[in-house]
Structure 1
Amino acid sequence: MHRDDDQISRAKTGDPDAWRELYRAHAGRLVVWLSTRPSGDSAVAPEDLAGEAWLVAARRVSDFTGTSEQFAGWLFGIARNLAATTDRRSRRRRTDPGLSETLELPADDVIAEAEGRDWVRSALATLPPRERDVVACIDGVGLDVAGTAEALGISAVAVRVAHHRGLKRLRAAVTPEQPVTPAGLG
């Protein structure tokens, strides 16, 4: 069984300095990681999901046991669940027959074009979802294998395999002469 480190113990008692340290260590990485994931709802920014994840973490920190580094995986897992809920909710909203292609098509084109400008997002977009998420966690925001497994809700072995495959695909796809474009942008 894991034990809480000093920072987590202090956070559980509501120590603002402990929360400030946790926030400084993980907030930026969380927003960057959420930016690499499709949200399904353009009205929900990665910063919004990250803020909601921090609120859930503050409410449920008594359920967490571990170190401040393990806290990152737990926090990212909360954010992943919130993002999935947001995606499901937005897909249900799009089923309204009154909303025709005129609303969806231009928004998708604008989003795809904006993502096409960002090289990292473009490269990650070429990967299957699991590989994209694993590479973004490990190489994008610096989580370790255990933290990535916790964040994504998969085993450490699955993380290692997806990381290896993702990096192999990126190496094969990325050459100086051939820029990466997200699937469907041609």
Structure 2
Amino acid sequence: MVAADDQTIAQAKDGDHAAWRALYTAHAGRLLVWLRMFPSGDAGISAEDLASETWLTAAAKIADFRGSTGEFGGWLFGIARRQARNAERRSSRRRTSPATTETLDDLLHPLRAHGADTAPDSDNWIAWLLSHLPAREREVVSCLDVVGLDVASTATALGINASAVRVAHHRALKKLRALGVEVS
């Protein structure tokens, strides 16, 4: 059974600017944080670019969406995930590798780059922790714990079922505990 649209979604489908502003306000910041967790591999494509493409796609396909404002988040993050994967595929086909003075290993593993006794700043710490997880678990932790989606929205965003989300989250937290991270 398909859920009926709530008022905000119905208004957004009708082109109401206030409804789109409400949806944007509720999800834009979390979407951008989430997209920054998964670099595209192409220096010419930023998380902001991917977020813009995601919102454009959502606006074009809103007529196909059925559900509530709460369910919109999972649908939107699913679009963002596909946008990010497409950008990553395009980048790999181009085989571009911009030269930098820092290696990717130094960026993702700040403890190794700065010495074991130096703690990285909070942004690098999160990236370092997530770099120790397999891709699926990294995506689940990013959705649930970094941007605050619920299990159902995370499942929709990642194209998996809720049980798979819970299992991946459990495994990820177990791995993070093994690294000495206190997680609840």
TM-score (norm 2): 0.85
The separation in 2 between residues aligned to 1:90 and 1:10, in whole angstroms, is 37
Amino acid paired to 1:75: L
Equivalent position of 2:128 in the other structure: 122
Equivalent position of 1:131 in the other structure: 137
**In the alignment, does 2:174 pair up with 1:173?**
no
Per-residue Cα deviation, 1:21-76 (whole angstroms, up to 9, x for no partner): 10010000001011111312122111110111000000110000111111011111
User: What pairs with 1:25-174 in structure 2 (closer than 5 Å)?
Assistant: 25-94=26-95, 106-107=99-100, 109-115=102-108, 116=110, 117=120, 118-174=124-180
Q: Provide the identity percentage.
A: 54
Amino acid paired to 1:20: R
TM-score (norm 1): 0.84
Per-residue Cα deviation, 1:5-32 (whole angstroms, up to 9, x for no partner): 1110110001000000100100000010
Instruction: With a CA cutoff of 8 Å and minimum separation of 6, indicate the structure with the bigger relative contact order.
Output: 1
The separation in 1 between residues aligned to 2:92 and 2:53, in whole angstroms, is 20
Number of residue pairs matched by the alignment: 168
The separation in 1 between residues aligned to 2:34 and 2:156, in whole angstroms, is 14
The separation in 2 between residues aligned to 1:48 and 1:2, in whole angstroms, is 31
5+ residue gaps in structure 1? Answer: 177-186
Task: Assess, with a 3 A threshold, how the Cα gap between structure 1 residues 12 and 146 changes in structure 2: closer, same or farther.
Answer: same
Q: CA RMSD in A?
A: 1.8
Once the two structures are TM-superposed, the CA of residue 167 in structure 1 deviates from its matched residue by: 0.9
Once the two structures are TM-superposed, the CA of residue 163 in structure 1 deviates from its matched residue by: 0.6
Amino acid paired to 2:177: R
Q: Is the 8 A contact 2:74 2:157 kept in 1?
A: yes
The separation in 1 between residues aligned to 2:64 and 2:105, in whole angstroms, is 39
